[in-house]
Amino acid sequence: MKLLPVLLPLVLTMSCSTPEKPVYLFSYFNGNGDGLHLAYSEDGKEWQALGNDSVYLRPEIGKDKLMRDPSIVQDEEGVFHMVWTTGWWDQGIGYASSRDLKNWSAQQNIPVMEKFEGTKNAWAPELFYDKKDKTFYIFWASTIPGAFPEVPTSESEKGLNHRMYYVTTKDFKNFSDTRLYFEPGFSVIDCAILEKGGRYYMFLKNENSNPPEKNIRLTVSDKPFDFPVEVSAPITGNYWAEGPAPLLVGDSVYVYFDKYTEKQYGAVRSADLKNWEDVSDQVTFPKGIRHGTAFEVSRKIFDNLK
């Protein structure tokens, strides 16, 4: 009986604890690729710029010294890893890491396509961390002239016929050989992966331009590779969309995207990843936001950024 007064406060303290409310961040760029910007949200709908829309990291590498399409993931040790497009016609991609999203490592070039003669570009690299085997997947879009049957293109996109390529790494020092990642039979860019319930959902842009598609579609796999080349019908509407950024918010999956011809951001939402509702009129983003990624961070990281 003497133990009860000692144990009761401990039990009450444990039972009253509540889980930390999540904070979501969105990495993006402005203009032609000025550097890393960050926005935040607590509900997945209203996004506000951090630091008065300041640049958290300015580009230093690549032919054009750009930082477009910043993709960020956090590993199990708390380190954030970022890759980005360094230029319009580069054969490598940029990489840097950080523990707080403010102080970054030296920027490095990963020469992912240098062994493929004639490669035109390495666009919109995306990071995915597979917790099952503790492996990072980096995938991006490249055009290798003559590698695939030509598709009809508009005059402005003549000579571009993208496919997705990838490398894997566990430490960002040693990388696998570059290999073909996804070949759906059409020009494809801007792939992004969400893992949910042990399955891997890859969102992608059909880049065909004649006749124009320019929409977001979906394919599903039991692994973070070997995705079926038969993709879904468009999950976005009658507008041009690119740069899908999936995010799990509560029980729903949001997919944000750049309505680049309209110079605004949009979103679709689904509870079952089969039926999609366009909620573009329910989300707000900082003015000028361009292609990035959405991810969850701890309250400590967020408070430090604010």
Query: What confidence score (pLDDT) does residue 14 get?
Result: 43
Residue reference for tokens 């394919």: 219
Half-sphere exposure of 10 (CA within 13 A, CB side): 5
DSSP 21: P
Phi (first) and psi of residue 209, to 5 degrees: -115, -5
CA–CA gap between residue 85 and residue 38 (Å, rounded): 17
> Which residues on adjacent β-strands are paired with residue 48?
40
Q: Provide block-wise average pLDDT over 10 residues at a time, the chain (306 residues).
A: 45 53 95 98 98 97 97 97 98 98 98 97 98 96 96 92 98 98 98 97 97 97 97 98 98 97 97 98 96 96 94
Q: How many CA atoms lie within 13 A of 138 on its CB side?
A: 32
Report the distance separating Cα 228 and Cα 3, nearest Å: 61
**What pLDDT is recorded for position 10?**
43
Residue 92: the pLDDT is 98
**Measured between alpha carbons, how far is 229 from 169 in angstroms, rounded to an integer?**
24
What are the E-state strand segments in the chain? 23-29, 37-41, 48-49, 68-74, 80-85, 93-98, 108-110, 123-130, 135-142, 163-169, 179-182, 188-196, 199-206, 215-221, 242-249, 252-259, 264-270, 277-278, 290-297
Question: 17-305 adopts what CATH topology?
Answer: Tachylectin-2; Chain A (2.115.10)
> How high is the pLDDT of residue 188?
98
